[in-house]
Structure 1
């Protein structure tokens, strides 16, 4: 009898241990995405690696928003199916293509270092910027911040290209930690929009609140997934990729500018 009781105690202990082991494995799985992205950020700053896109799965992950609401393309959108945002003179002979995700922490580092330089490079009319925006980090990290921010950017673009660019810059300057989904809160997005003079019109607020441009944001994200670009940030000038990181830092504006001009044949 005592032997049977001992076996039962061992069996119960084994079940507890097995349950603990499974819970530990589940916890590790829940943390893996955050740890991976955080590690990628460290690697990016140490060796110039962009946040990677899981292109194969993302191409098959079409947003349900595109099917559940009518597609409204914002005024001032350009490119195939209105999925590109062009900043600068539309007839500029050279094109700088910028690929970003609003939740991408490496994009924030790039924007902090060279965002103003990107703007200045358009001023003489030789180079225009085409923004190709992504939302793949929502799938990688969970939440809806990339998509919510992208839809709100559509509302800003509808107000004007300059309003878009100013709002784009405000979003990166106030980007939450990648482990949080701060941009998933529409009220927070609207608060940030208040930093852009003249942007927060009644029409803008309604479009953001009603998610008017969510289906458009889904199409923009799908276009990014189909672009062949494998990470963000990525910058190409006339199809030639620009080096954005050197050693453990973002390349300085002088080096970035020199690369852009060389790729465009402006030196």
Structure 2
């Protein structure tokens, strides 16, 4: 008896092999899930947009504040000494002093054969280090008549970092030269000893500078105060910067020191100890003195 086993497999079945259609409840749940996901994305986009707007506004406000601060500093710098004709303090190295050749304030005997040229900024922290290392040596050689020091005061920090302390402080220090070499060098050393942080424009306040000058005997007079307050030597400070910029090919750095034209480089005391730098400095000075006879 032959079995017809293949015939059963060809028939159709109403079993569970077909896909089940989701119920209305399930479709509603899926719709709610999709809507919630869309709401979350929309909320994230809104928050992201708000954050972006806040960041952009903060940047714009920062730029505006920085611009306004810069403009205010520039206005103050331009106002200090405005209307004052170019003038050089007493005893500068150039005779006559001009804006193109403003000269440096001389400490020591003008006839001394060796010249130490010091270009510095009263706000410059590296200038303070240089004064700490070499200032007393310069004074020693100048007092002995072996060399004369020419101080060229510039307003570098004001120009690159804002403020007016380099200009106000430097110009008022220049006023001290009118009182005499002793008063000038005493006030010079005092300003560097009490130098504020580079970001602190304390020397931009003329009262702060004049109060400091009060510690120097025989310096605070009505004439000195008027010189500082009116910015009599502000144009001289700016001219010194321009003179140094031209000398260095447009790239100004302070301190910039020369002994009879030989540059002296300030080195990191961690790499070259202070005592070694001072010994090297003396050696250059001694060689210059010996050469001049």
Question: Are the equivalent residues in 2 in contact too, given 1:93–1:127 (CA < 8 A)?
Answer: yes
CA contact (8 A) 2:176 2:187 kept: yes
From 176, 179, 201, the equivalent of 1:181 is 201
Which residue is 1:231 aligned to? 253
1:222 is aligned to 242
Describe how 1:96-175 pairs up with structure 2 within 5 A: 96-175=116-195
1:78 aligns with 2:100: no
Residue 98 of structure 1 deviates from its aligned partner by 1.0
Cα distance change, pair 169–91 in 1 and its aligned pair in 2 (3 A): same
1:19 aligns with 2:44: no
- Compute the TM-score of the two structures, normalised by the length of structure 1: 0.76
Change (3 A) 1:68 1:15: farther
Residue 158 of structure 1 and its aligned partner are, at CA, apart by 1.5
Q: Hey, what does 1:260 align to over in structure 2?
A: 285
Q: Is the 8 A contact 2:114 2:288 kept in 1?
A: no
Q: Tell me which residue corresponds to 1:251.
A: 274
Secondary structure of the equivalent of 2:142? coil
Distance of 1:78 and 1:101 partners within structure 2: 18
Counterpart of 2:247 in 1: which secondary structure? coil
Gaps of 5+ in 1: 32-62
Instruction: Name the counterpart of 1:51.
Output: none
SS of the residue 1:226 aligns to: helix
Residues 1:26 and 1:126: Cα distance change in structure 2 (over 3 Å): farther
Q: Secondary structure, in 3 states, of the residue corresponding to 1:232?
A: coil
How far has the Cα of 1:155 moved from its partner? Answer: 1.2
> How far apart in 2 are the matches of 1:187 and 1:222?
27
Find the counterpart in structure 2 of residue 34 from structure 1.
none
Larger relative strand fraction: 1
SS in 2 for 1:14: helix
- The one-character-per-residue Cα deviations of 1:212-265 (angstroms, maximum 9, x if unpaired) are 222222222322322217421121111111233255156333332122222454
Corresponding residue SS for 1:78: coil
Query: Does structure 1 retain, via aligned residues, the 8 Å contact 2:118–2:256?
Result: yes
Work out the CA distance in 1 between the residues paired with 2:227 and 2:175.
6
- The CA deviation string for residues 146-198 of structure 1, in whole angstroms up to 9 with x for no partner, is 00011101211111222111111110000001110010111110111011110
Q: Following the alignment from structure 1 to structure 2, what is the Cα–Cα distance between the partners of residues 250 and 170?
A: 24
Corresponding pairs, count = 235
Higher-RCO chain (CA-CA 8 Å, sequence separation at least 6): 1
**Larger-gyration structure (1/2):** 2
Aligned to 1:202: 222
Whether contact under 8 Å (2:90, 2:105) holds in the other structure is no
* Counterpart-to-counterpart distance in 1, 2:115 and 2:199: 33
Task: Quote the Cα distance in structure 2 between the aligned partners of 1:235 and 1:72.
Answer: 24
